Structure 1
């Protein structure tokens, strides 16, 4: 008997052998009622062979999220058994539980909340402020700059006003406004992704014995190793990220720092090792990959996390893992440059899980939240009311 297309794709999904096109095809088939029945039958057969104490709905939720991971570029494959914990730990609502909801926001533009106001996602925006008071607005058609003998964009074109004689050895203040993001490759090869409403201060000086940056906002770092001296005198050049409440000393490579004023600060380690030091505290906190340091009121808490949930912004998605609505909309407010108002304070504590594309209009995110929870939104100009 010839296998159906849904059977072939399901087997490919189980074996983790689907191509990108086949992942999209599987998601499209899941939108059809007849194919949903077929996939439930296939899931039932799979559960007979490998019982995981999962329901069909939990299996479907795992497939849906795994497909979203593939679509958004996450590298690791997540088997259904992992999502058993994901489903049972959801506190209030799951954004991507319904079949076909997630991909809908990738492919459909017209299913948005009833509102005449369309608020577009952020984009490439950044301003360089130099010590002499001059400012350089970076091109919105570019996404990154490279600090070298000249200040250039990734395509090799020189940033206007970015000749070496103009900015070399000055402290550069990079400001990312609300609704903006930009990437910077520093002179030592370190790569820095800057999120919305963020300021990074950096001194270009090859002779300095320490690499030191000041951060107010959120940034993801991939730090390049740098050494000075020869032979036995050779030593690593320290890399420090200073925030208003603590300092991160880098011993490894990849990590994310969230340090917005008025909010708990978080340092999330992806690879390598970092040390978190709080002023006036004789404590040193070392992080391992997939650990996070939360700093609030000079207190440090170390917790285990899935680091990709806190770095997905640079890949183009919002990834909420048990996040409360206040925190979700705080991120949205910075990215879409809106002001958020809650009709009742208890709405702030609603918790959600899921993945939503970051470069869709604001309405896409709001529609997903409305489907997942008992909430409604109203938009007036650039103000968002939560009801």
Structure 2
């Protein structure tokens, strides 16, 4: 990928998937590519927003099916291509059509949705990469304020902040007797952060979330504790036992459940203000156990569990569940109450919504990089409810 241009990106199936947030391997592919080439991040983010804008426009104008059909046609053609940016004449035409639709969307937003907000003097901006890291000695580091480079050396492990803003743990040549030392990373409302754990596993924290983990994993198990919402990509680790190689399990603890994995991709939503804990499996297998009653279930890829008092297992809308990791809000027949809980965490605002309005259902796709008014517009354009922004509080009325 020597050059970047809009048409080429729009014709690349993996980039479209990256913009949509699924499958995870395409998201990881582009994030890794950008991590090695930070000079392209601004361009890619700008072009990603155009794709997201197209998706949102398709939803607002109730023509999402046309957008998906066009994307499927692109995907079928792309299956015949090698990875990269080689485009057939047909794909160039398709990309041009997508670009025209995107420009139409931008005009639409400029003329219709981007109306002045008379209810507040300052624009409520979206969240960003920010988190607080607590080291084993109790000292703290504000990750959004500290410079790129090595942040600490603990127990033979280097803690580094990369150019792309991620946190990475690397085993150094030195050793320490303090094998039980742990770190905690916590995001505030309006924050998110990504890190690579000492075993190579990756974790993406959503707003108002935390992850507690050892800087050295034990030989027989790997165990972390979390709150809020975290997406995991677990690295496989093995040890020799009884003359053969065996996988070292990875455990994720929340307030009311434990997840056992061997090597997989999954998302856990355990916010206390949600009706229950939702665990969504993308790849591999996980066993989820309730700490309330000992009940245990096994998830297959594409499934999710919901835990309140007991487990309920069903098929997952994976795209919707992990869209936040790619920078999107994706709402599919989602209640206004659920939407506003996500809005509250990401934009750090308070919500006042009557119960009967909270039951209203909405569909839409909005980039998390958009200002708060983008989601407010999505709701108000339906005529179902009115949203008023006063200082940092959204008030919902009929």
State TM-score, norm by structure 2: 0.68
Unaligned 5+ runs, structure 2: 1-6, 17-43, 77-100
Unaligned 5+ runs, structure 1: 1-8, 32-56, 78-98
Judge conservation of contact 1:340–1:383 (CA < 8 Å) in 2. Answer: yes
User: How far did residue 204 of structure 1 move?
Assistant: 1.4
Give secondary structure in 1 for the equivalent of 2:125: coil
Cα distance in 2 for residues equivalent to 1:251 and 1:179: 32
Give secondary structure in 2 for the equivalent of 1:229: strand
Give secondary structure in 2 for the equivalent of 1:174: strand
Give secondary structure in 2 for the equivalent of 1:63: helix
Tell me which of 346, 353, 364 is aligned to 2:374: 364
> Is 326-335 or 138-147 further displaced after alignment?
138-147
Judge conservation of contact 2:148–2:160 (CA < 8 Å) in 1. Answer: no
Tell me which of 194, 213, 223 is aligned to 2:205: 194
> Is 278-287 or 187-196 further displaced after alignment?
278-287
Cα distance in 2 for residues equivalent to 1:283 and 1:205: 30
Compared CA separation, residues 325 and 318, structure 1 to 2 (3 A)? same
State TM-score, norm by structure 1: 0.70
User: How far did residue 100 of structure 1 move?
Assistant: 7.6
User: How far did residue 247 of structure 1 move?
Assistant: 0.5
Give secondary structure in 1 for the equivalent of 2:374: helix
Tell me which of 148, 155, 161 is aligned to 2:163: 155
Deviation string, structure 1 residues 267-306 (Cα, Å, up to 9, x no partner): 0011111111012535321111111100012x10001122
Give secondary structure in 2 for the equivalent of 1:118: coil
- Runs of 4 or more off by more than 6 Å in structure 1? 18-21, 99-102, 141-148, 156-159, 162-168
Rg comparison, structure with higher value: 1
Compared CA separation, residues 184 and 103, structure 1 to 2 (3 A)? farther
Q: CA RMSD in A?
A: 4.1
Structure-2 residue corresponding to 1:62: 65
Structure-2 residue corresponding to 1:335: 346
Equivalenced residue count is 315
User: How far did residue 216 of structure 1 move?
Assistant: 0.6
Cα distance in 2 for residues equivalent to 1:230 and 1:103: 59
Tell me which of 216, 228, 243 is aligned to 2:254: 243
Deviation string, structure 1 residues 92-146 (Cα, Å, up to 9, x no partner): xxxxxxx989944997497145333310000011001234321111035889999
Judge conservation of contact 2:211–2:227 (CA < 8 Å) in 1. Answer: yes
Structure-2 residue corresponding to 1:311: 322
